[in-house]
């Protein structure tokens, strides 16, 4: 009986923290940032472009001139046959025709599934004329689909910044849903020319991120 009461109380606490659920939280973060950008946008490895809450990420960018989706050809979550879809392997150099093709490159919870993450970040960045927006997990259970994708990395916010910096981009916005109740995501925006960036700015204190989850599981 005590366990049932505790479990019910725990579930109610979790339900009351919807704004911290990683997908809901990262969607809200993107809605803050996306209207600041114009031009040609691509959702890299975006599957069907769904935000997992019934919406489409293309609608988050009201000022886009064009919006594209890329996917990798292998596995059940690979190329979807969507009109205008681009086949792109992040573990290889970008084709010449895609280099600098997009103003903004968006990538949501993909990098952890790519073993050669340095190449993947390089490929993402060379597509972008202006900015890269990436969402990456820092605390999350291992998840993969055999024959489609693995699960290799959990990157700190500092690691994400450094990877982007090595490609010539400066992080202007970074946030974390540091919570004891759900997976922890890192939301990062990096740009080529920070002086021209007109959107919101934020930074994180790296020390101690994830400690709430660790304390709760002890």
**CATH number of the 2-217 domain:** 3.40.50.150
pTM of the model as a whole: 0.87
Residue ranges per domain, the chain? 2-217
Q: What pLDDT, on a 0 to 100 scale, did the predictor assign at position 163?
A: 98
Mean pLDDT of 171-194: 93
Those residues whose C-beta lies under 8 Å from the C-beta of residue 28, and which sit 6 or more positions away, are 19
Element holding 108 (H helix, E strand)? strand 102-108
Q: What pLDDT, on a 0 to 100 scale, did the predictor assign at position 26?
A: 97
Q: What pLDDT, on a 0 to 100 scale, did the predictor assign at position 147?
A: 77
Those residues whose C-beta lies under 8 Å from the C-beta of residue 116, and which sit 6 or more positions away, are 91
């Amino acid at each position: 009986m005590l366990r049932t009461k505790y479990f019910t109380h725990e579930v109610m606490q979790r339900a009351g923290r919807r704004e911290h659920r990683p997908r809901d939280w990262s969607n809200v973060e993107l809605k803050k940032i996306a209207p600041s950008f114009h031009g040609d946008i691509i959702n890299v490895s975006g599957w069907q472009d769904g935000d997992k809450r019934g919406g489409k990420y293309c609608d988050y960018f009201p000022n886009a001139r064009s919006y594209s989706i890329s996917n990798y050809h292998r596995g059940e979550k690979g190329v979807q046959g969507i009109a205008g879809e681009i086949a792109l392997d992040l573990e290889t150099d970008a084709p010449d025709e895609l280099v600098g093709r997009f103003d903004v490159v968006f990538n949501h919870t993909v990098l952890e599934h790519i073993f050669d993450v340095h190449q993947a970040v390089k490929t993402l960045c060379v597509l972008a004329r202006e900015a890269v927006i990436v969402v990456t997990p820092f605390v999350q259970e291992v998840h993969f689909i055999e024959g489609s994708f693995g699960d290799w990395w959990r990157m700190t916010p500092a690691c994400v910044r450094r990877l982007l910096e090595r490609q010539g981009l400066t992080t202007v916005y970074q946030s974390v849903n540091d919570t004891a109740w759900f997976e922890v995501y890192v939301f990062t925006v990096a740009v080529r020319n920070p002086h021209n960036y007109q959107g919101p700015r934020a930074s994180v204190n790296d020390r101690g991120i994830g400690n709430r989850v660790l304390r709760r599981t002890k």
